[in-house]
Structure 1
Amino acid sequence: MKNNWFHKLLVSYLPAFVIICLSMLLMSYLSLMEMSKKSTEQAHTALVQNVNKLIDQRLESVNSLMNYEIKNNVAINNFYDDAFNSDRYYTDVQAAVAVKKLLNDNPFIESIYLFRVPDQMVLSPSRLVNLDQFDDKGYIGATLNSRTAYSWKPRTVKTSVEANGNADIAERRVVSLAKNTNLKNYSFMIVNVNINQVSELLYSMIDKDTTFIHLIDPEGKVIVSTDPSQQYNSSPSGGKIIASAKSAYTGWLVSSGSKVGGIVAFVSSLFYLWMVLSFMIMLAGLIWIIYVSRRNYRPIKTIMERISVLPGSKETETKRSNADIDEFQYIETTIDSLMQESSSLQEKYKETSLFRKKHILLSMLGLEQGNGITKWEEELKLLGLRWTKHGAVAVIVEIDQYSRFIKEYKNDHHLLKFVLSNVAREVAESKGFSVWSEWIDQSRMVILYFLAGNEGEENALKDNCELLRDWVAQNLDFTITIGIGPLAQHIEQIQSSFRKAAVIVGYKSSLGINQVIMAAQVINRPKGELFKQLQCIRSTSQLFRAGDSQWELHFQEMYEDLKLQLYAYDDLTSLMQVLISHLQKELSELPEELYAIWRDEAYQNLIKELEQNETLDEIFAAFKAIMQNSLLKMNEIRENKTSHQMVMNIKQYITDNFQNPDLSLTHLNEAFGLNAKYLSRLFRESFGVKFLEYVTSYRIEKAQQLLVETDKTIQDIGQEVGYEQSLTFIRVFKKQTGETPGQYRKMKMNK
């Protein structure tokens, strides 16, 4: 659709926009020019002040030099002194030499000559002549007859020059200053500074292409100018003077101006006129905008009139009037309201559909209360699914090591779950299955596979699950375990299929993660009985407390026994929590420095590993590493004690003499020569267990070994491990293991 209205608006407003923009540019340009003009004036003011100051400094330095030489130069003073009239030749020569030296030392001075009134003689660096024969006798005469104070005076000096036998008159412009040297006869010294020196000084301070400077005497005549068109000793003409400054020392006026003129100067001179014209143009543009806006407002008004007849527009119109909302916002609000209402209805329908779909599935699985089997079948038809006589299979997909998954993908886990559910559906549909999937909790997703009765379909279902598991393992950074429930031929059996799939996937702790588990794998494995592992837990805990490395054998025995049986994750975690509790109880009896290692490090690490790991192999490997590290630290502390060797000797003595029925603290007192109470305390501090408990535990452990490895009678085994009475042996054995020696032998033989 063509933007006719847009083009119409554009063409309507564009001329006014261009006119106003040009006016703004003109005003900006004029403002910049005015600012530039003021900056130029300031710059020229500073320039003339600096030039004036510099010229005054140069001339004042010459004046100071003359004063100094008149006062201090002996040769010059002798020239004027009447006392040397008898030997004038010598004093005149000395004075000429002094004048020449002054010229050589001061390049700014062009010429110096001395005038002696009594004999009317004039001395220059090169000659001594009578006033009548001197070229500049006119200026000397005027100076001699002057009744005003001497000051710097610009003038033209004429000099006779002989060339090729002809006498020519050369002129040069100078500024001269006369100073009295002898007040008795009014003799004086005259210094001339060439105008070219002053001119070079001026040229060095300006850009001669854009700026000029006039140096004007008190009579208004040009002394020197950087403008070649200006005539010496005439009034300045042409060029606009921007700034002037008068010297308090010489009385001369320094004026400067700009050579740039033409149209720029003309525009600048009419600044206010141009500004008024710009404002008038802007006003014309605003009037045009108002006119065009009123003309273009008509379609908007028509739209508003049509909106006002819509249902609910009366209330909207009232709000618009009260809130003073502009028409475009009013139109936009009305359209947005209609669109939001439509979008809200669509979202509500979508959310209701998704919620309804999930509710139906959860009610079918028995996780929520439903409306009955007949209602389920109707709802499935609405969802595009059909329950056939061939039934369906419930499959549970569980993310392995979910705590690590959440930790690693804290912000992206919802996205990954969405990807997983889509991949599961696409993989199933690519193999011809009709499926329905939903997440039933944070880590598990259920998939219903509706079977079509094709040959080998159940095997194809397992292959499809293997394909899904393999895709996740290869393309994502986590793995899944899939549990496949039995076939549900009727819709009411789907709850049973789901529950069995949940039980099956729970056995991944024993069967391993990242695999597909079938019901047959669970049925063919014996179920574990937790109470059978309690003896290994007790033995492991007691030996670990005593610092005996034999604990690892009992721990390994428990692991190998668990590998042969099938345990759900909850059962396995319960068993390992029992082990942690036994260790906590046993190690709490150790000295504080040993118990602190368990309490502050090992205990927390065991709990953490139990929460993070899911399989039997992972849990036992983590537990073994933590316990080995803790025991190593405990043994280091024990070995650093001075009594450690004594305790080790006692422990070895018990190992060698455990068969002795009389083995007791009193017996050890006689063997080692130590007090019985001291031995008991030392033994308890080292191993966290009483002496009698340690001996009993060691004897029962040896008895268990003999019961399994030999055919000796229970009475013989009891006597061999230090119990003379068989009843005492049986009672102690059952107390330690929970079984009689006969029951223990029978259980081990049946494995």
Structure 2
Amino acid sequence: MKPNRIFVKMIFSYLPIFYSVVVIIFVVSTVLIHESSQKQTLKTKQALANHAVAILEQTFKSIDGSVINEIDQNEDLRKYLYTKDRFEKYYYANKVSDAFNALVVNNKWINSVYLYSIADETVISSSISTRVEAFGDEAFIRALSSDTFPVGWTNKREYKELEYDRLVSVFSIVKPFPLFTAEKGYIVVNVNVGTVQQLLNEMTNSDVGSLNLYDKEGLPLFGEQGKDMLLVRSDYLGWSVGTSIGQSGSLAWASTISMWWIVFGLCAVLMGTLAIIFISFKQSKPIEEISRQILSYVDQAFGKKKKDRNDDFKFIQSALQHLIKDSSQSKQHLKENINFRRQQLFQELMNADDANARPRWSQELHELGHSGDYDAISIFVIEIDNYSVFSSRYVERDQDLMKFAISCVVKEVFEAEGVEVWTNWMNQQQAASIAFLGREHLQTLSDCWRELQSWIGQNLKLTVTLGVTETLENADHLHVSFHKALNALDYKSVYGSNAVIAYENIDAKGQGEVFEHLLVIRSIGHSFREGDPKWSSTLDELIGTMRERSYSRTNISNLLQYLVYQLYKDISGLPLQGEDPIKRLNEAADAVETIEDIEGPFKAALEELAERIYAFRGKQSNKSIVYEAKAYIEDHYDDPDLSLSMLGEKFEIHSSYLSRLFKEEFNENFVDMLARVRIERAKALLENSNDTLQEIAAKVGYTHYFSFSRVFKKLEKMPVSQYRKMMDSQSDHLS
């Protein structure tokens, strides 16, 4: 083997990965810094645009307020527009011009202010007074007179006072005089667009970006349009302020990376490279030594050097895999053989009795891998509680997984105390375990059982009951202890689920014969059929006797099966609808494992059946009542006071329940039935009598003819008068 060959391979394996990770981290960091800078820039631009909009709104609202204040409080302006005296008008014109000049001087934003008088078509500004025809803004004034009065501030427009003046870009606001009527004229205030642009330029730095202004239609007013990061719209002005980023601002994120951070990063990469080289050199030494020993062994075993050794790692891997595979197969064969023989041992314990018991259980244990170094043996049986629920909740694969987990936790709990334990599943519900104990473990045995139950309850969400018996000093009577532990589980019905039942604690002296309860069970069946609630208390007394006398699971099962049989005989003649009640009771009886199961699911099934019988009897009784009520309607339809409440009182039944019975039995409610009976009687009177319509309405129970006519038309699809005419014409035709 070439010296340091493995070291070189490790270097060229780790360094490319290390450098790739460094590059990825650098790229990701650069992207994150750039995105963070962009987000910060966007927040700054947002704040700048909001600030610019706030200043514009504040300024233009101030101008708007000044004009309104001038209109409201300037008496010279009012007198100028309302006076008819030529000299006074000239005097007040000068006053108004001075007031406008004060507005322009005191507010740097205002470019000009002028008043247009509708009556004499004159214009007064801060500097001139002239006819509208000679005024430079005549077109705008004429537009005001043609019902195109602007709302709020206008978009950018061109303005001049005299024909020879230079055009100025302005924003204008027009206020009528008086306010809301424009009866006398208009006041127009113009703000220079250049002043607004100068304000926005002062708020920004060209290297960082600029503020751009757009009018109400979104058309650009000034600035670098089309490069806006965001737009902020003014609800008052209708304009939008956009912000764009400058050339230096787009690279501002790069300035956040200090040169010291770059130096630090390069130093970290260099130190990482040196660390990889050092660690690779250190780790390659033992691998090289192992490789040398394996190659030396192979050369000695084959007597010559093997070819094709360019890939040292592959050769080492192949050699180790063969060794591990051979070792694992040997251990697996041994383990399978021992596990199979242990399963046979448990089956022999189950089938053994005193007559055919094997005399040398100790030798059998020794042959199965136990050294015989123990002071006592404990055998116990684990039973899954509520197995019917367990088997219905989990599929077979999950059930096997749960049982495997129980076997593993038994081993872990006992081996944690230094106790060897063997476990094997005897059937689908029960597993048997043999624990080999030292004297120091006798006091902790019960703690191990409780810990086992606690772990299963918390992690597997199910409970188990343990049947146990006293420990043995030797294995001669191992089969006897096994049967005692198994018999202890037969009393789980009394001691309950999730319990540890010791065979020696079972008191079976007062059990008596179960046949003495047959008459009690028959009385329960009779009371059940007759609807006497006494059956429930009698069943409770029977359950109390079972608990008091500690009946085994077998005896309790026999009593429940006889109870189900007696109920079957007593209720078999009842035509109950729906699910077979006896099938439900049989399923509940089969699922009973403890007396609590009788008091719970089994009794609940009985109560559900009792409610079905009660409902059946009530339905039969109510059926006769509803037919009596129908007959009463047919006999007393002419009673105007006949109502559902009256029938309820007569037959002693709630009116709403009686209405529901009508609907269920006849598919017709009380009101419709009464109306139908009355109209049928009315039709008979219309055909066979000469009574007036009002008399017929009264004879069938209607106090008002209008009600009778409305109901008749609704049911017969024609007015009652038309029906009588039709009957009279048929009678004349027959005669």
TM-score range, shorter chain: 0.3 to 0.5
